Amino acid sequence: MKGRKGRMSGRHAAQDALVALLAETIDRLVNLDISGYGVIHELYAGARAHHRRPLTLLAGEALRKALAPGDCFFVTCGWVMPGFYPAGETDGPIGAAALGRALGIGLGARMVVLTEETMVGVTAATCRGAGLNVLTETDLTRGPRAPHARNHYAIVLPFPVDDRLAIAEAARLFRTYRPKALVAIEKNGANRKGVYHMVGGEDDSDCVAKAGRLFDEAQRRKVLTIGIGDRGNEIGFGAVQDVPRRLLPYGRKCTCPCGAGVVDATTVDVLVTAAVSNWGAYGIAACLAALLDRPEVLHDPETEARMLRCCVDAGGIDGFACRPVLSTDGMPAAVHVSIVTLLNEIVRARAVREPTIFSTPLLKAASSRRR
């Protein structure tokens, strides 16, 4: 028996080492500066120094620990840009839909998405593109039965732009749904003076939902918090704010009267950086797939293309082009599909599933556990 326990312990250790190896690759992939913006490498380095482990793996592990079948989690996303009302970015809703799908399939959890009122339809359409059913609050109570365990669904709700209303609504939502986790994906965060900004220095507080109030409530209730961002003015950068304050042109001083810069001051349990915030959500889904040894938890390239099409058809716009085109952060659909294709290859770890004489001892040990 002792020998068998030793072998099992060795296999578990090999599997843990394999997942850590895959997570390093996933982190590097989703933080590739393909568009050449020039900040993501240092943002990642700052977040990695803070957490000391792969960011996507930390988030995946935390969500796996926090969520049981039937549990609720919140995601807040959506970015309505000044002068383009009511349109909002494609970066955010697609990541939310992908993460909702992954946590539904992998952990049996249910997602509630909180976004600007004008982004509810866009986000709901994107969730349907991911293969999620979309319900309303009343659907949960008026149906003859509770949702089936295989009913992977999302509820998409508006969250207030008015700060006072946002405080009250955050408290109501936490009382009603009792979420076990809160995730922000490409969601504008307030600076140290409570003002929300575009990365170009402009105050956009009149356009965006005050999602920071959700994090205030989560921290009071000791609920897991995760922030995913790609520039530094998104929710989650509080613990490493000195890095984007140094890097961004308006990091230290914005163009509005507050003068406190554009960088978010919200502190979260796990910060995940990515060259495109959607990719950070994909990276978390990929790590969860590896942790569970279930590659299907990560969406496929066809689903990625469908989500982008659904998002744009419903009113989403590319944040760089500021037009309803099939791109996100200035990169066409083919780039995002390619990232998802590569993530699927990483998760499937073909060198482990089909070991050869060239495979390392680590891969052989992990392979023996999988059989």
| Confidence at residue 157, expressed as pLDDT on a 0 to 100 scale | 97
Q: Return d(Cα 230, Cα 266) in angstroms, integer.
A: 15
CA distance 113 to 74: 6
Beta carbons of 148 and 155 less than 8 angstroms apart: no
Residue in this structure with the two tokens 């959607």, named with its chain if needed: 278
Q: What parts of the chain have a pLDDT lower than 70?
A: 1-14, 350-371
* Helix (H) / strand (E) containing 114: strand 110-115
Q: At 112, which helix (H) or strand (E)?
A: strand 110-115
72: nearest Cα among 220, 190, 183: 183
Tell me which CATH homologous superfamily contains domain 15-370.
Answer: TON_0340 (3.90.1640.20)
Give residue 10's pLDDT.
Answer: 52
Residue-wise DSSP of 169-210:
HHHHHHHHH--SEEEEES-B-B-TTS-BB-TTS-B-TTTS--
Q: Given this model, what pLDDT does residue 8 score? A: 46
Specify the pLDDT at position 9. Answer: 56
CA–CA separation, 24 vs 227, rounded Å? 19
Percent of the chain with pLDDT over 70: 90
Would you say 262 and 167 are in contact if contact means Cβ atoms under 8 Å apart? no
Distance in angstroms between the alpha carbons of the first and the last residue of the chain: 20
